[in-house]
Structures are given as structure tokens and as C-alpha cells.
Amino acid sequence: MASVAQPHGSLAARYNRNRRGRLAVWWQEIDRGTLILVLILMAIGAVAVAASSPASARRLSTAQEKLPNLYFFYLHMRWQLLGLAAMFWASSLSKDNARRFGILLGGAMLAALVLVPIIGSEVNGARRWLRFGVSLQPSEFLKAGYPILLAWVLSWRARDQQIPVIAICFGLMGFLAVLLMLQPDFGSTMLFSGTFLVLILLTGIDVKKLGMFFGLGLVGLVLMYFTYDNGRNRIDNFLFGGTAFDQVDLAQRTLLNGGWTGLGFWMGSRKMALPEAHTDYIFSVIGEEFGLLACMIIVVLYLAILVRVILRLVEEEDLFTVLAASGFAAQFGGQAFINILVNLQLFPSKGMTLPLISYGGSSTVAMCLCIGLLLAITRRNPFIQREKFSLRAMGDIQ
């Protein structure tokens, strides 16, 4: 019996050593600073959702069903756990596997967006969700594949300079914009367009093509203004001022109500009148209950993540890695600061959540997946010296 047990024991020991070895390699290769900053933001998000949950729970309660004060907090914790699992799984992928997964996910979500206007579920006048037992918002999960998909296409130029990668990416962006505006989802259209702009600027687009992009964007904005009532009303309220009961005005009043140090946890009063307190306007709830100083700390944390990503890319020699990571950073930072500016009444309302902090199902899991893929594609051996990457060496992208 002993002679039979010995090999099995050795095999189990080798497996455990290999698993510990893979974990050690993962810990050495990922950007630990970014991971820690992300976990801090998620912890802040858990507290913020707990603070805002009573306001949303009471607004959504009915005579037949009264939601408990921490209803959204309990749900949020479940989504955060699922999001953490997705993030750690994605960060464990090799760069090649992360690229393959991102391309497949991006293609699948584009196909799902084609189905949304046909069989999608409508909520508050927008058709953005597919329901297959669970609710899925394809535009949220597209965020995890879109930067990788664009970076992959643009990186073809390094292998064959005759491929018209800019034209292909313009076509892809135009197709995506049409699908999003059919829902309609102007906020996501702007966010993906901004990500697209960052990537083509990094690849060295000429001035004429850049002017064409802005011209098409202006035409799209004018068409949206005259055809999309909700978008037109939000722009008019931002430019000309609305009533004291507009969401953005209520958000700003809530944000400033706590002063520098806040009124204290669950002590806010204005949040009770604020729509979407646990999602779009959670930054205002943080301001009221924890103060403007807490809001400043959150802004610094977002900036710190962006700076970490940029510093990580300074010594990167792979074009795909530079473009994909820059796309994720632009997308993440753009969504965060649009949400914050909306709460400060410095930007028209867009219906965007605050990344890693707001309550969300699809949005929470998708954002964690984005961070996981970002960590995967920026993995590097810390003991290998790298030659700095130069975009000038690539020449202009056609």
C-alpha cells in the first residue's frame, strides 16, 4: 500500500508546488499598484452603496412591497464578488490569451448589440438589455473587448504597412455608433468615440483624417440634438439651466450639502430626493455624507490609476500592449470623470455609473473584467530589461 501511495503523494505535492509557482509568477508580473488602487475603490464603493441604498430602496418601494434599506447593498456585494472573480481570472491570462479573449468578446458583444433593437428589453424609454434568464447589457461588456479589438486591428500596421487600418477602425466605430444610437445610448457612443480618438491619435493619424473624425462627430451631435428628445433636453438644461428639481441640479445640491467633512453615514437628507442615488449620482451621496474631502480622495485615486498605467507603458516595446492599455485607461478615466463632472453640473447628464463605486450588475462585472484584462496585457517579467517603445518609429498610420 505504501508503494502505491507514494507516487500519488508526490504528484499532489508537485501539483501544489506548480500552483503556488504560478501564483507567485502572477504576483510578480502584474501591476500590483493598480490592483491595490482598484481594490480600494471597490471598498469605497461598498460603503457608498450602503450609504445610498436607503434612498433608492424607499423610492422604489411600493404599497405591496417595501424594500429593506440595505437592499441594494446586499445585491452589490454579490455583484462585487462575481466581479472580483472575473477580474482575478482575467488577470491570470497570458497576454496572447487575453488578446484572443478580448477579440472574441468584442465580436460577440457587437453581434449582441445587433439583436438589442430587435429583441431587447426596454427600460425608461431605452432598449439596452437582453434577457436570457438574467439581464445582460451588451454595451457594458463591449468595454472589455473594444480597446483590445481596436488595438489588434491597428497593430496590423506593424506587419504590413499597406493595410488601411484607420479606414477599418473608422468603419467599425461608425457601425458601433449606429447600433448604440438605435437604443438610444448617447453616453456610451461618446465614451467609445473618445476611446477610438485616443487610439488613433497614438498611432499618428494625419490632420485631414482627424478633421474628418471631428466633422462626423459634429454631424452626429447635431442629428442627435434634433432626433433624440431626451438628449436634447439634457443639453438644453445644461446650457440654459433647468428647474430646481432637475436631476443634475439636485445632485449638485446634494454634493455640496455635506461641506468639507460631510454629515456622517446615513445622516444625509437631500439624497432621499435624488433619483438613481446608488448609481449615476452616488458621487453626490458621498459628498453629502462623507464630505468634499472624501470626493477629492476619490478623484486622486482615479488619477493615480491612470498615472500607474501610463508609467507602466513608458518602457513597453509592444505596439498592441501600448494601444490596448491606453484604450482601457482612456475608457476607464473617461467614464469616471464624465460621471464626476455631471454631479458637479459641469457636463450634461449622461446616465453613466461611477466605475468600481456605483451599484451595478452588468456594469460592475464588466468593469472588473476590464481591469483584469488590463492587468493581463500589461503583465511583465520584472527581471527583464526592456527597450523603450517609440511611436515615432512606427511612422504615420494610413
Q: Is residue 5 part of a domain?
A: no
Residues making up the chain, counted from first to last? 398
In b/e form, how buried is each residue of 41-58, taking b as 16+ CB within 10 angstroms?
A: bbebbebbbbbbbbbbbe
C-alpha cell, 227: 432626433
**Number of other CB atoms surrounding residue 314 within 10 Å:** 10
Q: How high is the mean pLDDT of the chain?
A: 83
Peptide bond into 355 cis (omega under 30): no
CA triple 389-390-392, angle to 5 deg: 160
Q: How many domains are there within the chain?
A: 1
Q: Is residue 392 part of a domain?
A: no
pLDDT digits (tens, 9 = 90+) for 244-264: 446 777 888 888 888 898 898
Q: Is residue 19 part of a domain?
A: no
Per DSSP (E only), the strands in the chain are: 121-123, 126-132, 134-136
Q: Is residue 390 part of a domain?
A: no
pLDDT digits (tens, 9 = 90+) for 46-98: 999 999 999 888 888 877 888 888 999 999 999 999 999 999 999 999 999 99
pLDDT at 122 (0 to 100)? 72
Q: Is residue 147 part of a domain?
A: yes
Element (H, E) at 214: helix 207-227
32 within 8 A of 382, measured Cβ to Cβ: no
Compare 376 and 258 and report the one with higher pLDDT: 376
Q: Is residue 16 part of a domain?
A: no
CA–CA separation, 301 vs 304, rounded Å?
Answer: 5
| Whether residue 36 has pLDDT greater than 90 | yes
Cβ within 8 Å of residue 87, ≥6 positions away? 38, 368, 369, 371, 372, 375
Q: Is residue 301 part of a domain?
A: yes
C-alpha cell, 8: 500519488
CA–CA separation, 278 vs 200, rounded Å?
Answer: 35
Q: Residues 172-178: contacts with CB within 8 Å, 24+ apart?
A: 174/216, 175/110, 176/110, 176/113, 176/142, 176/146, 177/220
Q: Is residue 12 part of a domain?
A: no
pLDDT digits (tens, 9 = 90+) for 20-34: 778 888 888 889 999
Domain coverage including residue 351: 31-380
pTM (2 decimals)?
Answer: 0.86
pLDDT at 237 (0 to 100)? 65
Compare 10 and 101 and report the one with higher pLDDT: 101
